[in-house]
Amino acid sequence: MAKAPVNLRVHYVLPCCLLLLNLVNAVVGYQAGRVEDPWLRTTVVIALVLFGSSVVAFVVAPGLERFVRWLHRTSRAQAGGVGEALFLIALGAGVFWLYFVLVNHGVEALLPLGWRHP
């Protein structure tokens, strides 16, 4: 039993979280364009990326892993696998859709209007 959650985290949840972190890094890089000083801009980007990667590694990935375990535990024996599979499919589809928007429409399409550069 203990092997499945480890494999789930290593092979699916953590990579999805890292892809989401990469999206956040794209937004950070875009927003850093507002900082005029190149030294300060570089410092801000590094600080935000370090903070974001820590949040992903220690909060988001374990939280998603716990959620998947909860789905599996609280549903019936047969529905547990279905609930877990639906959640993982939704997670993958959500990450795919965000990357689709990023690649085809740019970072601006992911941001609220108030965050976009003039």
What is the percent of the chain with per-residue pLDDT over 70, rounded to a whole number? Answer: 81
DSSP H helices, 1-118, are: 3-8, 14-32, 38-55, 61-74, 77-105
Q: What is the pTM of this model?
A: 0.70
Is the pLDDT higher at 13 or at 31?
31
Ranges of each domain in the chain: 3-115
- Render pLDDT for 16-73 as a digit per residue (tens, 0 to 9): 888 888 888 888 888 888 889 999 999 988 998 888 888 888 888 788 778 777 766 6
Output 100-104 pairs: Cβ under 8 A, ≥24 positions apart.
102/23, 102/26
